[in-house]
Amino acid sequence: MPPTPRELSAPDRLNDLSGTDSSAFEAIWDELTPLGRDRDTGGYRRFAWTPQDGVLREWFTGAARARGLDVTTDRAGNLWAWTSDPDAAVAAGRPALVVGSHLDSVPDGGAFDGPLGVVSAFAALDLLRENGFVPSRPLGIACFSDEEGARFGVACAGSRIITGALTADRARALSDADGTTMAEAMQRAGHDPEQVGPDEETLRRIGTFVELHVEQGRALVDADDGRGCAVGVASSIWPHGRWRLDLRGRADHAGTTRLQDRDDPMLALAAVIAAARSAAEQHGTVATVGKVQVHPNGVNAIPSAVTAWLDARGADAEAVRAVVDATAAAGGAEAVEESWTGSTAFRRRTA
């Protein structure tokens, strides 16, 4: 079955939250709000394995310990807070229910991306305890390291490392804009980079994982004929990828070269951008040209070359491929695939 076209379904009406007491959430939220906020932009700069990241990790550990939770650190440096022994639960055949998210950010990121999932996990635990709820298996709260990949360029590095999707050697060698490797940054932050690698012990502990994440779009707000839905349940991650298009031309002077004599790759770029949009509309996907490099990038110079990057995603992999093909054809270029991830369906448990 292909995933639902908008990725989200909202089976339950959860709009009437008027009776909900959000003060528990807000008290925790207020502790976290000032950490890593840039004074000038108001955005968040919480990058992996920086001193700022250390402050956030300390905050997480403190919040967990204040609730009597045991904190474990896995081989990638992800943090896990447990209500009871997760390994005993594995041995008993009832591995933990884990909730949580991440605390790192993109440059000048928003307040909710990541922290919403972490803070709501603590608030939910507080609420369950207040109501005398006794879980039949451990509850875990996760805080993933380097989820955004803002510093070392690989998103979800923490979870990729423990699952083996990112090899230890490659992870350690990744470097940031200043040339600092992940291994060096980890070392400075007190995490032994030699520890980095797949972590079966941690993965075994996770029976079910649920992440509450802020929606970074308007699909839920506009859902149900504009009446909106408070929460959607993601059933899958759309197929998605990134492609590079190298558009060649000939450098010439902007003043002295007649129009008919020009070979201007900026015109191909314009065609590429317009084609990406119209092909996405036609095939029911999204497509974005968000990064370009122009050579030599002078106001009065007809460029010799333009490189453009296309990000395309959609419910149907064939539709995404069709958009990429149409976009590349419009620019007379080949689309060089830099990454591709097929549809990832989420397993659901009913018990």
Contacts of 48 (CB under 8 A, 6+ apart): 104, 145, 146, 148, 150, 151, 152, 157, 182, 185
Q: Which of 113, 146 has the CB closer to Zn ion?
A: 113
Q: Which of 49, 144 has the CB closer to Zn ion?
A: 144
CA distance 80 to 326: 45
Q: Which of 124, 212 has the CB closer to Zn ion?
A: 212
Q: Which of 3, 114 has the CB closer to Zn ion?
A: 114
Q: Which of 8, 330 has the CB closer to Zn ion?
A: 8
Residues in contact with Zn ion by CB under 5 A are: 113-114
Contacts of 248-251 spanning 24+ positions with Cβ under 8 A: 248/304, 248/305, 249/302, 249/303, 249/304, 249/305, 249/306, 250/302, 250/304, 251/295, 251/296, 251/301, 251/302, 251/303, 251/304
Chain CA centroid to CA 48, Å: 13
> Which H, E and C letters describe 265-332, residue by residue?
HHHHHHHHHHHHHHHHHHHCCEEEEEEEEEECCCCCEECCEEEEEEEEECCCHHHHHHHHHHHHHHHC
Helix axes 51-66, 115-130, angle to 10 degrees: 10
Q: How far is the CB of 274 from Zn ion (least distance, A)?
A: 31
Q: Which of 114, 198 has the CB closer to Zn ion?
A: 114
Q: How far is the CB of 114 from Zn ion (least distance, A)?
A: 4
Q: Which of 149, 265 has the CB closer to Zn ion?
A: 149
Q: Which of 113, 199 has the CB closer to Zn ion?
A: 113
Q: Which of 150, 185 has the CB closer to Zn ion?
A: 150
Q: How far is the CB of 105 from Zn ion (least distance, A)?
A: 9
Helix (H) or strand (E) holding 43: none
Q: How far is the CB of 65 from Zn ion (least distance, A)?
A: 24
Indicate the burial class of 236 (C-beta count within 10 angstroms; 0-12, 13-18, 19 or more).
middle
Q: Which of 231, 271 has the CB closer to Zn ion?
A: 231
Q: How far is the CB of 60 from Zn ion (least distance, A)?
A: 15
Contact 60, 103 (CB under 8 A): yes
CA distance 265 to 323: 20
Contact 127, 23 (CB under 8 A): no
Q: How far is the CB of 193 from Zn ion (least distance, A)?
A: 24
> Using CA of residue 130, residue 135, residue 138, residue 142, what is the dihedral sign?
negative
Tokens standing for 218? 């308007």
Cα distances (Å, whole numbers) of residue 269 to 84, 261, 275, 296, 324: 57, 18, 10, 15, 14
